[in-house]
Structure 1
Amino acid sequence: MKFKWLIMTLAIAFLISFPPVASAHSNNSEGFSKIDVEGQKINYNLQLDFIELSHAVGFKIDEQNVENLEELNNIITQNKLPLQEYISTHISVYADSIPVESTINQTSVLKIKERAFADITLSYSVNKALESLIVRYNVFFEDSDPSHANMAKVHIGEKQQEFIFTYEVRELNIGEMSFFTSAKQFLLLGLKHIFTGYDHILFVISLLIGAMTIRHILSLVTAFTIAHSITLALATLEIVQLPGKLIESAIALSIIYIALKNIFQPESNHAPWIAFAFGLIHGFGFAGILAELHLGATHLATSLLFFNVGIELGQVLIVSLIFPTLIFINKRLSYKWFLPSVSTAVLILGCVWFFQRAF
């Protein structure tokens, strides 16, 4: 009996430990870079999570009230000098191996995926047309968020290149990144996205709770994978675009539905069509990062493929860890208490996410 209550307590504590935030992807801050080299000028459009930027630079803001973009615009304008200093010391640009200084031309605040982002336009002047460009990026990594990732798109002449700045990879050298380096970066980005996408993980776990055979597991995972791969591609290719608030709210509703089904129909296994239907919604959620990057046609297929492979590898790892655990619990204990207890915790968290995202 003591063992039963210990397992139940640990399971519920694990589930409610997921951050109940408006977006389940917001624990690891994101950034976007667009670098254009035009003759003797380098234009750099930098977009950074505003709350994370406030931590790094020292803006004083009310983190619970970041809906007033006009107020945030005033804050970033008033802090232009410390912002310039921060960028100058955390982003280094070398034109033909010669360091060049940045100038902030314009700042504003905009919404990306329902979050406030600082939109900063930088310029760098050089003496001649460039043959090589090196960017060393160290924003947030050491001072506020080691898990930060910045998706960069670079245009230099006729060349376009996509790159991801991470804690482990902080330097971009135009012309030196191989196909395998690019593929590895997007694969790791997919892995990171699934492991920090707590809502996606919770949905998959809830599906697995009702499945006790490998064949059933494979049918659910396959249906979910096919569905989210379809909408991931459609959203990244900008064929189908849906509001981020709608998608995030629908993902929360998918968790609520599965939790309710586990509570009131515990003997009814989830059908693959349910996994497929909700997988279509989750695919739009997966596409958020790639859609914002606006990948060029040259590297789009590769980036999309390996990002999706990363998601699938992460999903396989999650299933491989969770399924044996469920089998162990089923053999040692009765599902009569375990399923409703865990599903109730999932239901509560799904409701919290839904109300935070929808209203």
Structure 2
Amino acid sequence: MIRNIIIFSLLWAVSLIASAHLSGFTDTSIQIAKPGVKIIYTLPSDNLLELDSSNNKTVAPPSSYMPSITNGWGVFANKRSCFLLSSIAKALPKITAYQYTLNYECPQGIDELSIRYNLFTEQWRGHQNYARIFMADSRMRMRFTFDKKILVLPVKQLLNKWGKSLTTAFFNTDPHRQLQVESWGDPFSIKEASAQQITEAVEEVIPGQNYSSIDPSFIWLGMTHIWQGYDHVLFIICLLLIPCAFKQLLLWVTSFTLAHSITLALSVLGVLSIPPTITEPLIALTVVILGIENLYYLYRQPKDDVTFKQRYRNRWWIIFCFGLIHGVGFSYLLQELSGDEDIWGRLLMFNLGVELGQIAIIVLLLIPIYAMFKWKYGLKIGGISSLLTSLMGAIWLIQRI
């Protein structure tokens, strides 16, 4: 029985290690104007390792991936291909991301436009590309997913319905950095919707206007972000892998929550700036240390009259310090997807989503782990799990250094 559990745990560990560098989200703005179509595509740079057939574990400069990026996007107008006029690649070191700007010309006109996105979907079914479409001083939103790879937009029909015409030029910068980030609904193909439904999904673009609406879609974004961040998930699981009183666990979780909320806010607001090259190895190190600490508590021999509170009296502040590091890690996605407007509302919703995702993990595992420690092999399983957690953290640490 113990042997089977160990084998299963090792296989699970290998699968986590193999996918630890992936992020579930990329970001795109699409501008449609008289010159053609402009796509600004932003993604975490280490995701591009999925496009490297040489199995190189080091991320190359942004321009190295340009052929793969341009092949992954396709723009078609009136059922004919548009021409790629120019492409620019640059690094965004603050969030360890690369950004690609693709300019397309459609000499046949843009009565109907199709945009295809086909990056990562085969290797990475959970990937989502959040996109905003800017056209005729209006904005729409959608998500490209594994089974929704093509956006079909009846441009002429929409312009006639709105009584508008295409703008004569593109924005000088990525427009969603200056404008409100709107709510993201379910992924859809606009071809499947009526012109009326599309019109109802459109928002007027007013550059420089200050928006104050709270976007609840960031709650789900925060939840999925923590669920797909295996280093964060393992850290939370590690909190459960030693027997303790419920009040003690509540103190630890509260310490972690308070700490990462502080640094998440400071990072997103620009008060604190730590590059991912420092933060990501430190997050891996917290997993290593917490797993080792679990082993210390599991296998030392406390006196019979020592209470849980006395036994773990110093653990809460260690978790608090580690939470400060994790909060900076949480901030990078929100920085990538957010503009300057309504940052407080998005920060509140995103952090609420992170907390709900964290609570869901704990609720899901609390009873099984409690039952495990009632089993005669419970302490051994807790020790093995903690050891594997430290091992995975060590491997991530080496990879990120």
Match of 1:199 in 2: 231
Match of 1:87 in 2: 73
Match of 2:17 in 1: 20
Task: Work out whether 1:229 is the aligned partner of 2:261.
Answer: yes
Residue of 193, 201, 213 corresponding to 1:176: 201
**What CA deviation, in whole Å up to 9, does each residue of 1:286-318 have, x standing for no partner?**
1121112342313x2332222222221111111
Task: Work out whether 1:120 is the aligned partner of 2:101.
Answer: yes
Match of 2:396 in 1: 353
The whole-number CA distance in structure 2 between the counterparts of 1:246 and 1:205 is 23
Residue of 107, 124, 128 corresponding to 1:145: 124
Whether the aligned pair in 1 keeps the contact of 2:40 and 2:99 (CA below 8 Å) is no
Name which of structure 1's ranges 255-264 and 6-15 shifts more when overlaid on structure 2.
6-15
Match of 1:73 in 2: 63
* AA matched with 2:86: N
TM-score (norm 1): 0.74
**What CA deviation, in whole Å up to 9, does each residue of 1:305-356 have, x standing for no partner?**
2222222111111111222122101112255423332222122111111111
Match of 1:281 in 2: 325
Whether the aligned pair in 1 keeps the contact of 2:223 and 2:357 (CA below 8 Å) is yes
Distance 1:43 1:138, change over 3 A: closer
Whether the aligned pair in 2 keeps the contact of 1:153 and 1:295 (CA below 8 Å) is no
Whether the aligned pair in 1 keeps the contact of 2:95 and 2:276 (CA below 8 Å) is yes
Match of 1:31 in 2: 26
Q: How many angstroms does 1:63 deviate by?
A: 2.7
Whether the aligned pair in 1 keeps the contact of 2:243 and 2:373 (CA below 8 Å) is no
1:297 is paired with a residue whose SS is coil
The whole-number CA distance in structure 1 between the counterparts of 2:374 and 2:222 is 34
Q: How many angstroms does 1:155 deviate by?
A: 6.2
Q: How many angstroms does 1:250 deviate by?
A: 0.6
5+ residue gaps in structure 1? none
The whole-number CA distance in structure 1 between the counterparts of 2:359 and 2:218 is 17
For 1:323-334, list aligned pairs within 5 A. 323-334=366-377
The whole-number CA distance in structure 2 between the counterparts of 1:301 and 1:140 is 32
TM-score (norm 2): 0.68
State the Cα RMSD in Å.
Answer: 4.1
Q: Flag the structure with larger Rg.
A: 2
Residue of 6, 9, 12 corresponding to 2:6: 9
Name which of structure 1's ranges 154-163 and 264-273 shifts more when overlaid on structure 2.
154-163
The whole-number CA distance in structure 2 between the counterparts of 1:44 and 1:206 is 42
* Identical pairs, percent: 24
Q: How many angstroms does 1:277 deviate by?
A: 1.1
Q: How many angstroms does 1:47 deviate by?
A: 3.0
Distance 1:275 1:65, change over 3 A: closer
Distance 1:184 1:164, change over 3 A: farther
Whether the aligned pair in 1 keeps the contact of 2:215 and 2:345 (CA below 8 Å) is yes
The whole-number CA distance in structure 1 between the counterparts of 2:138 and 2:263 is 29
1:32 is paired with a residue whose SS is strand
Q: How many angstroms does 1:141 deviate by?
A: 7.0
For 1:257-296, list aligned pairs within 5 A. 257-266=289-298, 268-269=311-312, 271-296=315-340
Whether the aligned pair in 1 keeps the contact of 2:77 and 2:108 (CA below 8 Å) is no
The whole-number CA distance in structure 1 between the counterparts of 2:107 and 2:348 is 37
Task: Work out whether 1:44 is the aligned partner of 2:39.
Answer: yes
The whole-number CA distance in structure 1 between the counterparts of 2:320 and 2:142 is 31
The whole-number CA distance in structure 2 between the counterparts of 1:74 and 1:198 is 28
1:19 is paired with a residue whose SS is helix
2:327 is paired with a residue whose SS is helix
For 1:212-227, list aligned pairs within 5 A. 212-227=244-259
Match of 2:280 in 1: 248
